[in-house]
Chain A
């Protein structure tokens, strides 16, 4: 029986041992030892060329381009991190999670639920030093939400406001600046420092609009307008 190349290949696959580092090696000539600059043909300039900045080892920097406008300077740069230090992060908490915490007794619905109470459950890590400015409530679990609470967070969308007020609760969005947030997140550590309670600063310009908006139940908004919005 004549065996074709395919049969031979298949028999190899069947009979040869499993490939591992023990039975692999580079093909001949792949790795050549480095040739040292010695002797008649390696000597004299030793691979450095003739005179000039190259032999004198006075190389130009990478990308220089010989004096013309270098490639990396011909185009404008992309402002990837512009305003990054001003960006605020609000940690998300779902309504379902809040309901779960109330059910299991971690949060008391009779007391106002704000940043301090949420952090006191020790289930959320809020670090003001990482430009985290508070919590935002997501609307996951808005259908099953069934608790009358006084909630104060830093941002809440329309659905969440509707869900909370449907059950007769109150929701406000309030701003805490970094120093007062540091005190609010861990009051025990703050009192141990013995520092006077800092005055809560007003929000920055880009957030003033949000916190003065009665539709978002901002704490700076007119209470009459908020009452009107609740009625709607």
Chain B
């Protein structure tokens, strides 16, 4: 059975670039003159969004507490890449499961490059020393992320900034 794909061809020349915008019908003597007015489109152009995320400007300090990535040491066997919005890829996920089991929450670190197990070991040691408690973790080698149970976002963020990621 063949699937019929319905394609709507816009009849309106404003939406269909193939149709002429101002088609001339009849002799050209009947048409009045056109005067192009010079308009400063600046005020309208500033209403449109940027097409790409801009590169953050270089400053000495940022009042919001945002820290740009400075290069980590070459000895480091792993690297954590920033997200497309120049933020650290550490997220706290709180899942509410509507059964008797209750919910579960974890901190997830994405965009890991290099030796993922080494990063997991370093982070786990740091967190367990910080909390003086066992911290369950999960490593996904294919998708390149690590999860730690419960909320460690701020701790991991400061650790990653120290490392220079």
A residues in contact (CB < 8 Å) with B: 96, 99-100, 102-106, 111, 116, 119-123, 141, 144-147, 187-188, 191, 194
With an 8 A cutoff between CB atoms, is B104 at the interface?
Answer: no
What CA separation (Å) do A105 and B64 show in the bound complex?
A: 12
What CA separation (Å) do A171 and B98 show in the bound complex?
A: 43
What CA separation (Å) do A147 and B65 show in the bound complex?
A: 14
Given contacts A106-B54, A141-B64, A194-B14, 7 further A-B contacts (CB under 8 A): A96-B64, A100-B64, A104-B85, A105-B54, A111-B46, A144-B65, A188-B47
What CA separation (Å) do A96 and B66 show in the bound complex?
A: 10
**A121 and B56 in contact, given A103-B66, A144-B65 (Cβ under 8 angstroms):** no
With an 8 A cutoff between CB atoms, is B38 at the interface?
Answer: no
Whether A146 and B49, one on each chain, are in contact in the complex, defined by CB atoms closer than 8 angstroms, is no
Choose among B48, B57, B59, B63 the residue that contacts A187 (Cβ–Cβ < 8 A). B48
Interface centre among A102, A103, A121 (most CB of B within 10 A): A103
Smallest CB-CB separation from B65: which chain A residue?
A144
**A123 and B85 in contact, given A105-B56, A116-B47 (Cβ under 8 angstroms):** yes
For residue A121, which residues in chain B have a CB less than 8 angstroms away from its CB? 49
Q: Which of B38-97 contact A (CB under 8 A)?
A: 44, 46-50, 53-57, 59, 62-66, 85-86
What CA separation (Å) do A125 and B61 show in the bound complex?
A: 30
Whether A146 and B63, one on each chain, are in contact in the complex, defined by CB atoms closer than 8 angstroms, is yes
For residue A141, which residues in chain B have a CB less than 8 angstroms away from its CB? 64
For residue A111, which residues in chain B have a CB less than 8 angstroms away from its CB? 46
Interface centre among A96, A105, A111, A194 (most CB of B within 10 A): A105
What CA separation (Å) do A73 and B85 show in the bound complex?
A: 57
B residues in contact (CB < 8 Å) with A: 14, 44, 46-50, 53-57, 59, 62-66, 85-86
- 30 A-B pairs whose Cβ atoms sit less than 8 Å apart in the complex: A96-B64, A99-B63, A100-B66, A103-B56, A103-B59, A103-B62, A103-B64, A103-B66, A104-B54, A104-B66, A104-B86, A105-B54, A105-B56, A105-B57, A106-B54, A111-B46, A119-B49, A120-B48, A120-B49, A120-B50, A123-B85, A141-B64, A144-B63, A144-B64, A147-B63, A187-B47, A187-B48, A188-B48, A191-B44, A194-B14
Whether A188 and B62, one on each chain, are in contact in the complex, defined by CB atoms closer than 8 angstroms, is no
For residue B53, which residues in chain A have a CB less than 8 angstroms away from its CB? 106
What CA separation (Å) do A111 and B64 show in the bound complex?
A: 19
What CA separation (Å) do A104 and B53 show in the bound complex?
A: 10
For residue B54, which residues in chain A have a CB less than 8 angstroms away from its CB? 104-106
What CA separation (Å) do A116 and B43 show in the bound complex?
A: 13
What CA separation (Å) do A99 and B59 show in the bound complex?
A: 14
What CA separation (Å) do A116 and B44 show in the bound complex?
A: 12
For residue A106, which residues in chain B have a CB less than 8 angstroms away from its CB? 53-54
The smallest C-beta distance from A160 to any residue of chain B, in angstroms, reads 15
For residue B44, which residues in chain A have a CB less than 8 angstroms away from its CB? 191
The smallest C-beta distance from A9 to any residue of chain B, in angstroms, reads 25
For residue A104, which residues in chain B have a CB less than 8 angstroms away from its CB? 54, 56, 66, 85-86
The smallest C-beta distance from B9 to any residue of chain A, in angstroms, reads 18
For residue A103, which residues in chain B have a CB less than 8 angstroms away from its CB? 56, 59, 62-64, 66
